[in-house]
Amino acid sequence: MAEAEPPPVAPSSPVPGERVYRHRLPVRIWHWVNAVTLLILLMSGLMIFNAHPRLYWGEYGANPDYAWLAIGSGPDMGFLRIGDTRIETTGVLGRWTDAAGEEQTWAFPGWATIPTSYSLADGRRWHLLFAWVLSIGLTLYMLWTLFGGHLKKDLHVRRAEWSPRHIWHDIKEHARLRFPKGEAAARYGILQKLSYIGVIFVALPLMIATGLTMSPGMNAAWPWLLDLFGGRQSARSIHFITAWALVLFFLVHIAMVLLAGPVNELRSMVTGWFRLPPEKGEGA
Amino acid sequence: MSELMLPRRQLIARASGLVAAAGTMPLLAGCDAINDAPVVRKILSMGEEMNRASQRALIDRGALAREFSRADLSPVFRSNGTKLPPGAAYAAHVATGFADWRVKVTGLVARPLSLSMADIRAMPQRTQITRHDCVEGWSAIGQWTGPQLGSILAAAGVRDSARYVIFRCADRIGDDLYYESCDMVDALHPQTIMAWALNDALLPIANGAPLRLRIERQLGYKHAKYVQGIEVVASLDRIGAGKGGYWEDRIDYEWYAGI
């Protein structure tokens, strides 16, 4: 892989408008492999969920037991029930119209699942193959992050950044859609650092661990997984909740990319090179 | 219970849904073409092989599925698949309390057997409270009693060329009888039993009366119900469509169902 060596970082601040090398190759490769992998895992996961659209806490849970979350259908309507709250979701969840114009009563609609029409077998095959891509990729990326300098160089939260004032300031700036300009834009902000650390070291490992906890084979090998998550059905619930936390991360991530300048952001995640946004008053 | 059912009634499509569906149709058709392409099927089946190989490497042959206490039992143990095998033959067995039910042990064995339910109950028994995990996602905990499959196979004398055990069932789905299979690692696992009792009562019809397989480190569809035949073979190739089970042959469920 021919890779232009990044220029040595000048101790002086880069000039706004200048191009800086922001994302190293492992970041870019993992980012795009993961983008595809997580999309496939989500959509095939929703297919698997469709086979039994009910979630429980504890070791067991089946139709006669209380489900804390259920997606279902009544006559002429679909619904999502969480606890005692029932929301009508006709057209999206529980009752929707497929591409052939026929009404279906599976939980998640065909446009959100792999494959588009019900097949638990195929959903599982996609899910359980791409789970390997995620696991191997994440393991390598974690090692590179910890030992390849990514943590130290990009993700390490400096002491000053931990101050509540600094964090609150960053939250306010984001809420006002005021993003770092000039040299500061080349580095991750505190909220970025915390979200990336959360995804790499909390959410994705949690997805893999709860996924393995649902495996009867792995339960025999590593029974402590059941104790860690409070049982197989609890693990299934945590798997589902964490998947949606990752969807939320994705939505915020996309919103930030769009607001911060999609062309520049996209280019930097493809080529590594990022053009520093000009300081205020220098024109856009 | 209406939310538990998945009615397939086709009602009049909503206009809004139709418009949305028409827009996404080419994209979705493209996705499904990928799903069905032979090369993709081949790649997808690699996942099963990786899961089987890694679990076989990682899980000790004798590693036990967790056993629970009576306090952990599901209040109701649900059933799935066949609830009552169709046909006069099974009905006659029900009428006689399975007095004439025979389990034939055949194939690569030194002494083929034909066991009555009394024979099976007279063997050394194992009772275990385990979790049943359906491929669909639900779990139920029940207490199972029956002889270890290993004792039955030992009584028959398994030949060295044996690689797999086929379970022939009395329930017909469509035109074909249900069957399942496992390798010798799972066949000889201490928790692999032929259960005739669930929660201290005779096995209910919906759960596979009079005899079903418990293969505790794999998913529910491997746990063959209404077992009439135990056949020891060297290869799965000539059994059914060759993939080792009823659902494996028809809808491409994984033969190795440890995950």
Nearest to B3 among A72, A97, A128 (CB): A72
Give, for B132, the enclosing helix (H) or strand (E).
strand B126-133
| H runs (alpha helix) in A148-231 | 150, 164-175, 190-198, 204-213, 216-221, 224-229
> At residue A194, what is the residue type?
L
Q: What is the pLDDT of residues A26-82, one digit of tens each?
A: 999 999 999 999 999 999 999 999 999 999 999 999 999 999 999 999 999 999 999
Percentage of chain A lying above the pLDDT 90 cut = 77
| pLDDT band at residue A99 under the 50/70/90 scheme | confident
Asked whether the predicted pLDDT for residue A10 surpasses 80, the reply is: no
B120 near B103, Cβ under 8 Å? yes
Tokens of B90: 């099974």
**Residue B37 CB burial class (10 angstroms; 0-12, 13-18, ≥19):** exposed
| pLDDT band at residue B16 under the 50/70/90 scheme | very low
Which range among A1-15, A157-171, B214-228 shows the weakest confidence by mean pLDDT? A1-15
Tokens of B53: 């190989």
Average pLDDT, chain A: 91
Tell which wins on pLDDT, B8 or B205.
Answer: B205
Cα–Cα dist B66/B139, whole Å: 13
Phi, psi of B82, rounded to the nearest 5 degrees: -65, 125
User: What's the pLDDT score for residue B43?
Assistant: 93
Name every chain B residue with its beta carbon within 8 A of the beta carbon of A122: 35, 44, 252
A232 near A214, Cβ under 8 Å? yes
What are the C-alpha distances in Å from B131 to residues A43, B25, B42, B73, B128?
Answer: 28, 41, 32, 9, 10
Place of tokens 């046909």: B87
**CA–CA–CA angle B256, A35, B55 (5° rounding):** 20
Nearest to A59 among B50, B131, B253 (CB): B131
The residues, ordered by sequence, that sit 6+ positions from A22 with a Cβ below 8 Å of its Cβ are: A186, A268, A272, A273, A274
User: What's the pLDDT score for residue A284?
Assistant: 39
Phi, psi of B180, rounded to the nearest 5 degrees: -145, 175
DSSP A22-81: -S-HHHHHHHHHHHHHHHHHHHHHHHHHHHS-EE-SSS-B-TTSPPSEEEEEETTEEEEE
Tokens of B93: 């067995």
B178 near B225, Cβ under 8 Å? yes
How many residues in chain A? 284
A153 near A235, Cβ under 8 Å? no
Tokens of B117: 């339910």
B72 at interface of A, judged by CB pairs closer than 8 A: yes
Name every chain A residue with its beta carbon within 8 A of the beta carbon of B46: 129
User: What's the pLDDT score for residue B22?
Assistant: 52
Place of tokens 């899910």: A127
| pLDDT band at residue A277 under the 50/70/90 scheme | confident
> DSSP class of residue A199?
I
Cα–Cα dist B5/A60, whole Å: 20
Nearest to B7 among A52, A105, A217 (CB): A105
Q: What is the pLDDT of residues B19-35, one digit of tens each?
A: 445 555 667 777 788 99
User: What's the pLDDT score for residue A5?
Assistant: 52
Phi, psi of B148, rounded to the nearest 5 degrees: -65, 140
Asked whether the predicted pLDDT for residue A4 surpasses 60, the reply is: no
Q: What is the pLDDT of residues A179-225, one digit of tens each?
A: 888 778 888 999 999 999 999 999 999 999 999 999 999 999 999 99
Name every chain A residue with its beta carbon within 8 A of the beta carbon of B42: none
B61 at interface of A, judged by CB pairs closer than 8 A: no
pTM of the model: 0.90
Tokens of A136: 């191997």
Whether complex ipTM tops 0.90: no
Phi, psi of B157, rounded to the nearest 5 degrees: 75, 85
A238 near A205, Cβ under 8 Å? no
Nearest to A52 among B29, B137, B219 (CB): B137
B156 near B193, Cβ under 8 Å? no
Shortest CA distance to B103 belongs to which of B200, B239, B258, B227? Answer: B227
Asked whether the predicted pLDDT for residue A122 surpasses 50, the reply is: yes
| pLDDT band at residue A121 under the 50/70/90 scheme | very high
> What distance in Å separates residue B27's CA from the closest CA in chain A?
9
> At residue B166, what is the residue type?
I
B-facing residues of A in 84-103 (CB < 8 A) are: 90-91, 96-103
A62 near B78, Cβ under 8 Å? yes
Residue B52: Cβ within 10 Å count: 18
Name every chain A residue with its beta carbon within 8 A of the beta carbon of B1: 63
Asked whether the predicted pLDDT for residue A3 surpasses 90, the reply is: no
Place of tokens 């143990």: B77
Average pLDDT, chain B: 91
- For chain B, give every residue range classified as CATH 3.90.420.10: 70-251
Cα of first residue to Cα of last residue in chain A, in angstroms, is 35
Mean per-residue pLDDT for B171-181?
Answer: 93
Mean per-residue pLDDT for B59-78?
Answer: 97
Tokens of A99: 């591409």
User: What's the pLDDT score for residue A187?
Assistant: 86
Tokens of A122: 């195929």
Q: What is the pLDDT of residues A100-120, one digit of tens each?
A: 899 999 999 999 999 999 999
Q: What is the pLDDT of residues B191-225, one digit of tens each?
A: 999 999 999 999 999 999 999 999 999 999 999 99
Percentage of chain B lying above the pLDDT 70 cut = 90
> What distance in Å separates residue B31's CA from the closest CA in chain A?
7
Shortest CA distance to A50 belongs to which of A134, A135, A127, A131? Answer: A127
Cα–Cα dist B259/A240, whole Å: 17
The residues, ordered by sequence, that sit 6+ positions from A257 with a Cβ below 8 Å of its Cβ are: A265, A266
Is B64's CB within 8 Å of A220's CB?
yes
Cα–Cα dist B104/B227, whole Å: 9
Q: Structurally, what CATH architecture does the domain formed by B70-251 represent?
A: Alpha-Beta Complex (3.90)
User: What's the pLDDT score for residue A175?
Assistant: 87
Asked whether the predicted pLDDT for residue B127 surpasses 50, the reply is: yes
Strand partners, B212: B195
Residue B124: Cβ within 10 Å count: 7
